[in-house]
Amino acid sequence: MYELNGKVAIITGGSRGIGKGIATVMAKQGAKIAIADLLKDEAEKTVAELNSSGGTAMAVRTDICDFDQVKSMVSQVKEKFGSVDILVNNAGWDKMIPFDKTDPALWNKIIDINYKGVLNCVFCVMEQMKAQNYGKIINIASDAGRVGSSGEAVYAGTKGAVISFSKSMARELAKYQINVNVICPGPTNTPLVAEMKQDSEFNNKVLSSMEKIIPLKRMGVPEDIAYAVTFLSSKESDFITGQVLSVSGGLTMAG
């Protein structure tokens, strides 16, 4: 695997699911892990697991929709670990529902978490990264943002925005040797997906059929995403920026 010894990584939403998978794999490669998550108890439990396995990790309860909380979180990480070298914007949320059944309050929640949260985190780490002339930013979007998804119109829109924003930041930050890339997971077995299945029969029908239409005939697991993130966090990816990588078992394929 790719060596991350001494690097400091902030992972939003790192307490469970894909975020926990990313934290676990990166910690094994030597990165110091800071989990920024609203789920304080789950984050602390994940940190305890990482530390007991020989890793170095901390947790900071953070609402990524709140700019001041994000700014404070970054300061706490810098105070404890000395720098911020890697940012993984993993935190996200969705409610699978046809657009005509939604309302502005739901739109705002999805936009705040999935898009504005990314803006807050990138803004609060970029000065540190610019000053050290080094950084890796990996934004977790979704294949929904590339090709659309029934019942996820607003979510897909926010993930499309993350993709466009990331490409713009890759251009702006390249002169500081800061790489900005995007990973688009396909359907992945996570606690959020399990909750979505229980929300409605429509959700359960759509999500349960995924294994049949994914060419590799299985849902993703968090480690599938984690290995891709680890590569894009490593020195081996130094000449890769502004790129979008789909990790979906072949469900979507670029032309």
3-state helix, strand, coil in the chain (%, to 5): 55, 15, 30
The angle at the Cα of 24, spanning 59 to 216, to the nearest 5 degrees, equals: 135
Q: Is 2 a catalytic residue?
A: no
Catalytic position from the list 2, 155, 176, 227:
155
CA distance 184 to 223: 14
Please name every residue paired with 220 in a beta bridge, in sequence order, or none if there are none.
Answer: 188
Using CA of residue 149, residue 154, residue 155, residue 156, what is the dihedral sign? positive
| Number of helices followed by number of strands (H, E) in the chain | 11, 7
- Please name the helix (run of DSSP H) or strand (run of DSSP E) that holds residue 137, with its range, or none: strand 135-140
Q: Within 29-136, where are the H helices?
A: 40-52, 67-81, 104-111, 117-132
Using an 8 Å Cβ cutoff, are 254 and 143 in contact? no
Using an 8 Å Cβ cutoff, are 95 and 199 in contact? yes
In angstroms, the first-to-last Cα distance of the chain is 29
Catalytic positions are: 155
